[in-house]
Structures are given as structure tokens and as C-alpha cells.
Amino acid sequence: MDDPEQLESLKSGLMPFQLVKYFSFTSLGVILIFTLFLSWLISNNARNVMLDQSEAYSLLLAENLNQLVFRGFVLPTAVLYGKISLSNPEQFERLDRIIRNATATMKMEAVTIYDSNVNIISYSTQKPLIGKKNMGGLEYKKALTGKSNSQIVSSGTILSLLPGAEPISCRLKTFIPFRQVRDDASIEGQIMGVIEITQDLSLEYEAIVRLQWRIILVSSTVMAILFLVLLTIVGRAGKIMEKRARERINLEQKLSNAQRLAHLGTMVATVSHEIKSPLGIVRSTAEILVKRIKKVAPGNEKLAEIIVSETIRLNNIVLEFLDFARPQKVKLVPVDINNSITQALQFMELELTGKNITIETDLDLSIGKTAIDTDMFYRALLNILVNGAQAMPDGGVLRVKTGITKSDGSIDISIQDSGIGMSEEHTAQIFKPFFTDKNRGTGLGLAITKNIIDQHHGSISVSSEVGKGTTFTITLP
């Protein structure tokens, strides 16, 4: 798990990429909104063009109808009957025939004529409307003042295209004044009423709504594809950037550790060298004391022997410090790995047997000779074996196994004990210098082991579970 400092460094490393990602998705969102707005603008413009054309068509038709009705009905009826009365069946049929003949080939849903004196429907191709009062609204009143105008009655949206929804409806009602026609065919005479022409534009309006739906659908599909492509690119780029940021952090951490260990190594080497000489003098003096005490006061030489044994132990510690501070250069020689392991087990056999530890081996004899530094590798094995023996104070089983990885031909060495095991926290720090969970010890044994394996261009890992034992795995190229 990353510590807070690593997380902060990782976030700072990914910050420029986060800004690029934010800008990319924001730009995509802006493009999508602009595309939807553009589709609405195009469809709305098409709707307005359709309505303008339909209104112009209605005005032209109304003017023609004005002349046909006046010349073909008003004048002859006035001459023949003396007055116009649509309640007369003959007059009504004559007017109805003229209007229907004039609009037979035209896209008209209804033609309605309002009286100029009273807001009443005098004639309509829809007979149930005849005689109804106050049906003309504001548009009727404007037409009486001589101003032609139109009214759009529509219902339905894009949602109306869904199954089960109410159908799309659109009607254009055009109101024009019904005037007397002069001899020169100009329509500028007295207003005799108002003509209302109703066009059913539902199909045209539905076609525009469908066009709007297609534009939105295509735009959304294109944007969705672009979003998925961008999401994939950003996702892969994010992983690459995060990987590189982590690699940079690891390199910085390794460099920091290397610098710290270099300073620490210099200090340890200096201190160890200064301690080694007087420690040798103390040991030599204690050995002389042992001999003299045996002569002067036999039986009391144990105190001096303790000094000798402790100086030997301190000398070993000093040697470990020196080995860690000034690692030796690797001298690679082709040897049989299995022989080195066997020699190390034979050296440890007496100690392991004394602790009731059983040794189990599974060595792959097909492993050929491998270039290693025999002495250094032997010491690395001993450090692991000693660590395993210390983990089994009440006895157990020590399993050693070798094999070849088929994928890359590397050599795997597994050393497993059935000891007390370690927690995850201890496992994560097991190779760190000076880390130990024992009462006695420098905490350098496994750190030196890791340095030796690293110098052989190999790797070492550990897996452990409390109460079930620990397994060290060494991989050599």
C-alpha cells in the first residue's frame, strides 16, 4: 500500500494528465451540446420555411378563391335573386360547388367563410360548423381590418414518435378579408366577410420532427463513439502515466535509499574498523587471562572464558557490519546449484537435528551448471537456513526444492519452514537493514542475502502466514 507521501507524489505527477483528461471530456460535452443545438436550429429553420411556404400558398389560394367566389357566386346570385342568402339551398349548393371545384386538387382540409357584420360562420366545407357563432378569434378581427394573418395549431414532439404516443398534428389556419373584386381584377373593395383556409400539415411536420430525431440520433451516436474512443485512449494513457509515475517514485525512493545506505555504510565501516582492533586486543588479553587463572586459581577461569566468547560474538557482528557496508565483488564460476545447497544442508544438519527439525529435499537433477560466486551464494543460503531454524524452536520440517521455470529457463530455489511465520508488516520489512524481531541479532543477515542475490542479477521473495510457516524463493537467471 502506498504511504501518504507516495500518494501525494503520484497525484502531483498525474496532475497535468488529469487536466488534459478534464479538458478532453469537457470539450466533448461542449461539442455534443453544440451539435444538439445545431440540430434543433436546422429542424426549426426547416419548420419555419415549411410554414412560410404554406402560408404564402394559402394567401395565393385565398386571393384566387376570393375572385372565384365573387365573380362566380356573389355577382350572379345578386343579379338572379336580388340578395345573397345562404340559407337558400340553391345558393348554398352553388357556392359549395364553386369552392369544392376550386379546392378539389389542392391540399385543403377546410374552407370557412365568416360574416362581416356578425361573428358567425356563414359557410364551411365542414357542415357541422355552419351557423356557429363567435368561432372567429383575434385572427378574424384582424382580417376584418384588412390584415391577412395566420395561426398555427400544432401538437406533438420527438416523444410522439414512440409507440403508443399521441400522433403529431399540425394545422395552418390562414385568415384573409373577403373583398369585392373590381373590373381590373384588383381586390381592394369593401370587406364582405373573412375567408379561413385550413391546411393539414401533419405529414410535413412529422417529417421535420423525424428529421430532427435523426439528426439528434446520429449526433448522439457519433458523440457516444467518440466518447468511448476517448475513454479508451484516456484509460490506457492514464494507466501508462500512473505506471511511469510509480516507476519514477520507486526510482527516487531507491536512489534515496541508496544514498542513505551509502552514508550509513561509510559510517558503519569506519566505526566497525575502529572497534575491530581494540576488540582483538580484548580477546587476546582474555585468552591470556584464561591460561593464567587456570594456573593461579583453577575453576575461576569461566569469567575470562565468557569475555572470550562475547568478544567472538561481537567480532562476528563487526564482520557482518563490514560485509554489509563494503560488499565484495562477485566472482562468477559455473557450479552445480544442487551441490551448493547440499553442502549448506550438511553443514546445518547437526544443528537442525538437535532442534528436531526434519529436512526434506526435492532437487531437480536436470539443472546444469550456473555461474555463481560459490562463497557468497553459500553464505546467502546459510542465512536463510539459520533464519528458518530459528523460526522452529519446537522442531518442524524444512523443505528445500529446486526447479526450472519453463517460460524463461530461470532457476527457482524454494526454502520452506513450518515455523511460527510472520505477519504482513514483518514480511514487508524482512529485507530491510537492521530490522529484526529477535532479542539478539543485527538484522543484517537477510539484508546481506538480498544484496548477494541482487549482485547475481536474481531476485528473492518471501511469503509467510502466522502459525503456518515461511517460504523464501530465490530466482536466478
Judge whether 410 lies within some domain.
yes
Kindly state the percentage of the chain with pLDDT values over 90: 0
Instruction: Note the pLDDT of residue 16.
Output: 59
Region 182-190: mean pLDDT is: 64
pLDDT value at residue 435? 58
Contact residues for 26 (Cβ-Cβ < 8 A; gap 6+): none
What pLDDT score was predicted for residue 461? 86
To the nearest whole number, what is the mean pLDDT of the chain? 77
CATH of the domain at 96: 3.30.450.20
Q: Establish if 401 belongs to a structural domain.
A: yes
Residue 185 lies in a domain: yes
- What value does the mean pLDDT take over residues 66-91? 82
pLDDT of residue 72: 83
Q: Which of 145, 166, 200 is the last residue of a domain?
A: 200
Contact (Cβ atoms closer than 8 angstroms) between residue 342 and residue 385: no
Give pTM, 2 decimals. 0.44
pLDDT beyond 60 at 12? no
Residue 396 has pLDDT above 50, yes or no: yes
- Asked if the structure places residue 216 within a domain, the reply is no
Report pLDDT for 151: 84
Residue 301 placed within a domain: no
- Give me the residue label for grid cell 494528465: 17
pLDDT at 320 over 80: no
What is the tally of structural domains in the chain? 2
Mean pLDDT for the stretch of residues 215-231: 78
The pLDDT value given to residue 201: 83
Note whether 167 and 30 are same-domain residues. Answer: yes
Q: Are 160 and 168 in contact (CB under 8 A)?
A: yes
- Indicate if the pLDDT at residue 1 is higher than 50: no
Residue 5 pLDDT exceeds 70: no
| pLDDT tens track for 143-155 | 888 888 888 888 8
> What is the rounded distance in angstroms from the CA atom of residue 215 to the CA atom of residue 221?
10
Residue 436 makes CB contacts below 8 A (sequence gap 6+) with: 442, 443
Q: Locate cell 563487526: which residue?
A: 318
Segment 229-251 mean pLDDT: 75
pLDDT value at residue 277: 63
Residue 22 lies in a domain: yes
Contact indicator for 173, 149 with CB cutoff of 8 Å: no
Q: Does residue 272 surpass a pLDDT of 70?
A: no
- Checking if the pLDDT of 401 tops 80, the result is yes
State whether 187 and 335 are in the same domain.
Answer: no
Domain with 342 in it: 329-476
Does the structure show a pLDDT above 70 at 316? no
pLDDT band at 377 (very low <50, low <70, confident <90, very high): confident
Task: Say if 259 falls within a structural domain.
Answer: no
Three-state DSSP state, 114: strand
Residues 458 and 465: beta-carbon distance below 8 Å: no
3-state SS of the chain: helix, strand, coil percent to 5?
Answer: 60, 20, 25
In a domain, 44, yes or no: yes
Q: Which of 200, 223, 252 is the last residue of a domain?
A: 200
Statement: residue 448 has pLDDT above 70: yes
Question: What nine digits make up the cell of 303?
Answer: 569469567
pLDDT at 119 exceeding the cut of 70? yes
CATH number of the domain encompassing residue 463:
3.30.565.10
| Nearest in space to 474 (alpha carbons), one of 343, 233, 454 | 454
pLDDT at residue 10 greater than cutoff 70: no
Torsion from C-alpha of 382, 429, 270, 285, nearest 10 degrees: -50
Among the candidates 200, 233, 261, a domain finishes at: 200
Nearest-angstrom CA–CA distance, 57 and 231: 52
Question: Mind listing the pLDDT tens digit for each residue in 36-54?
Answer: 787 778 777 877 887 788 8
**What local confidence, expressed as pLDDT, does residue 439 receive?**
53
